[in-house]
Each structure stands twice: as C-alpha cells, then as structure tokens.
Amino acid sequence: MLKVEVASRLRGLPPYLFAEIDRLKQEARARGVDVIDLSIGDPDMPTPAHIIESLKGAAERPENHRYPSYEGLFSFRKAVADWYERRFGVAGLDPQTEVLSLIGSKEGIGHIPLAFVEKGDVVLYSSPGYPVYPVGTLFAGAEGYPMPLLEANDYLPDFKSIPADILKRAKLMFINYPNNPTSATAGMDFYNEVISFADRHNIIVCHDAAYSEVYFNGKKPLSFMQAPGAKETGIEFHSLSKTYNMTGWRLGCAVGHKDVIAGLGRIKTNLDSGVFQAVQEAGITALRTGDEVLAPIRNTYEKRRDALYNGLTGLGLKVKKPEATFYLWAKCPDGLDSRAFAKLLLEKAGISATPGVGFGAPGEGYIRFALTVDVPRMEEAVQRMGKAL
C-alpha cells in the first residue's frame, strides 16, 4: 500500500485561513444554522453587465480558444498602463516590459519570492496581513520576518525596529495599502519612506494594491507608483476582483521595475499559462469603465459600512471606521481572544467573521468583518450580536 508523506514545506504550513473558515461555515449550515457570512472578502454584487457582455462576445471568437500568451495580451497590458495614467497620473509605463498580466494578483504574490529569494534570505511582510505573503516565502525556502502593524502606529510598519542582522539578509518586502485586514490607508510620506528604506538596503518592494478603488467620501487612495523612484524600487500588484466584482474571473496585473517584472514573468512561463484571452478582453472593458458604474458600488459599501459601524459601536465594541476597503477591524470584547470571539459569534449568533490572529500574531485581539451582505442583513447581524453578547 502506498505510504504518502508530504514535503516538509507542507508539514510546516498552517491550514489556509479562509479554507478553514469555509469548513466551519459548512458545518454550521449542516446543523441548520442560518449563517450571516461576514468572513471572506468576496463581493456579493454582480459583475457589471457591460463587462459580462464583453466576455460573451470575446468567448465566441475562435482565436481566443487557443493558448494565451504568458505575459498577457499586449492590448490588455496597454489598457493597464493607460488606466494607471488616468487614475493615478502615472505616465510612461511600458506595456511590453513594465506590465504583466496575472491569474489574479494572488498568483503573482505567491510566485514572486520564487524569482528572487532562496534559503538564508529574508522576506519582510506586514502583519496582520494577507496569508499568502508568508506562505509564498515559505515555499521559496526563505525566512519570513513579520513587520507588526499596530494601532498605535496607524497600522504602518516601523522600519527602525527591524534588527540589523535581518536587514542584511532582506531581499523582498510586501506592503499593502489600503490594508487588509485593518483597512488603514497610507500617504505619500509613507511611500517616500519605503523607497528610501528599500534603496538603503537594496530590497525589492512589492505593494499589494487590491483595494485601491474601494474608498469612501471621495478620498482616493494613492498608488505606490505615484511616489518618485517607485518604479526603480519595486512593483505594484493590482486586481480587478474587488473593483469590478470579478473575484471569480481571476484577472490581475503587476506593474513597475522591468527586471522584477521579467523575473516574475520567467516563473509564470514555467509554472502556468496565461489568462484566457476572452477574460483579458473583458478586463480591457472593465478598465475603461467610468465612475457612473463604480460610484454606486462604493456607495453601497459605504451604507453597509455605516450600518455595521454604528451597530458595533452601539454594542460597545471599539471599531476603526474605514476610509477604504470593505472591512471593519474591531477589537474583541474584554476577556475574549479573536478565535474565541469568532467561535462565539458563529455558535451563538450564526455570524461568520475572521479572527484577527489568522492574519498574523499582531492581529490577536481583533476580528475582521467583511461588508458583503446588504444593509438589512447587516442590521440583523448586529441584533444577533447584541443578544449573544
């Protein structure tokens, strides 16, 4: 009989946070619980109709049925460069060498350590943060060093606290603003500091900008690429998932330093294929979408944010009111850690939320709520919480 023994890289891997949450939700539903799901950042609103129509037309053309190019259609990469110029004023991105299509930004984030780090190297990453940052580092055989994001520091990393021996071995750094899970935003002063720090220590910056288009009160988040010297220091990942409600379409991109883009492209060439061309053509349509379509989506999230924020603060919970992302980052009630609070919410109130510690040790004591149900359902969740607490 075959004896299966997994590799050491899997033996040291914790269960993927959101897969574990899915399992707990399924078990609750199997018991007949009406679960209000505020756990995973998966938009509940449909992809705008004009993008779907674009896909339908593109999918019917036989030239799109063949293997796509690894780096992506030039027309899609050109649309990304044009979007960066319109949205952020970042001009001059070369679609040929400074833009790469991705099968969702998760693919690029998970793969980029394979291109630039190896055993003995260090990858700096913000924590609490997207679990793929340390996992991609682990798979590449490098050592991850979490940079704590603390409320006292506005959820920005303190580069001065990183030990000298870590900095000598650091090759890559992941940052993410607007931030998941804390919903914090960053200004130009911070990005200038990042560039200065990375230049001094020869560290490649990888900025995850998946939530740049989910913002409130007209406060548009900045792109790392807007900072002077950013393109000479690193790259930025962007995703069409959250902006256009396209999570299942798996389409993203990376832009920036041509040598970093080339390294990531070499990993892609050897490990996967390109994005289905019809999806890329729909992506071009998405990137040309005007604010008349996107503003109502943001307004919907803003109403949900206000409903949940007012409800949670009314229950006595301390909550950060976000200016961007569709998450609320709330402190757990006294006497409960994040896993215990998440368990109580699921078992006593039928609410699924994400324990902060699942995003890294500095997230302990917090819980993340996603704004992915409508306002009446959100208000029902608050009522249930009130009874459970």
Q: What is the chain's pLDDT, residue by residue, as a tens digit (389 residues)?
A: 899 998 888 887 777 667 777 787 888 788 888 889 999 889 999 999 999 999 999 999 999 999 998 899 999 999 999 999 999 999 999 999 999 999 999 999 999 999 999 999 999 999 999 999 999 999 999 999 999 999 999 999 999 999 999 999 999 999 999 999 999 999 999 999 999 999 999 999 999 999 999 999 999 999 999 999 999 999 999 999 999 999 999 999 999 999 999 999 999 999 988 999 999 999 999 999 999 999 999 999 999 999 999 999 999 999 989 999 999 999 999 989 999 999 899 989 999 999 999 999 999 999 999 999 999 999 999 999 999 88
Residue 282, pLDDT score: 98
Closest CA to 25 of 359, 345, 358: 345
Tally of CA atoms within 13 A in the half-sphere of 214 that contains its CB? 35
Q: Where in the chain is the domain with CATH 3.90.1150.10?
A: 12-41+292-388
Report the 3 state secondary structure along the chain. CCCCCCCHHHHCCCCCHHHHHHHHHHHHHHCCCCCEECCCCCCCCCCCHHHHHHHHHHHCCHHHHCCCCCCCCHHHHHHHHHHHHHHHCCCCCCCCCCEEEECCHHHHHHHHHHHHCCCCCEEEEEECCCCHHHHHHHHCCCEEEEEECCHHHCCCCCHHHCCHHHHHHEEEEEEECCCCCCCCCCCHHHHHHHHHHHHHHCCEEEEECCCCCCECCCCCCCCHHHCCCHHHCEEEEEECCCCCCCHHHCCEEEEECHHHHHHHHHHHHHHCCCCCHHHHHHHHHHHCCCHHHHHHHHHHHHHHHHHHHHHHHHCCCCEECCCECCEEEEECCCCCCHHHHHHHHHHHHCEECEEHHHHCHHHCCEEEEECCCCHHHHHHHHHHHHHHC
The rounded distance, in Å, linking the Cα atoms of 141 and 123 is 10
pTM: 0.95
> Are the CB atoms for 118 and 142 separated by under 8 Å?
yes
CA 273 from chain centre, in angstroms, equals 22
The rounded distance, in Å, linking the Cα atoms of 258 and 313 is 46
Domain 12-41+292-388 has CATH 3.40.50.1010: no
Strand pairing class (354-355; 319-320): unpaired
Residue 112, pLDDT score: 98
Q: Scanning the structure block, which residue is given the tokens 């009446």?
A: 376
Judge if the upstream peptide bond of residue 62 is cis by omega within 30 degrees of 0: no
Contacts from 53-61 at CB under 8 Å and sequence distance 24+? 54/281, 54/282, 54/284, 54/285, 55/278, 55/279, 55/281, 55/282, 58/277, 58/278, 58/279, 58/281, 58/282, 59/278, 61/278
Q: Where in the chain is the domain with CATH 3.40.640.10?
A: 49-287
Instruction: Record the tokens describing residue 308, joined without a space.
Output: 């949940």
Residue 243, pLDDT score: 95
Residue 109, pLDDT score: 98
Cα angle 380, 385, 389; round to 5:
155
The rounded distance, in Å, linking the Cα atoms of 90 and 225 is 7
Q: Scanning the structure block, which residue is given the tokens 């991109």?
A: 253
Instruction: Record the tokens describing residue 74, joined without a space.
Output: 């030039």
CATH code, 49-287: 3.40.640.10
Residue 267, pLDDT score: 96
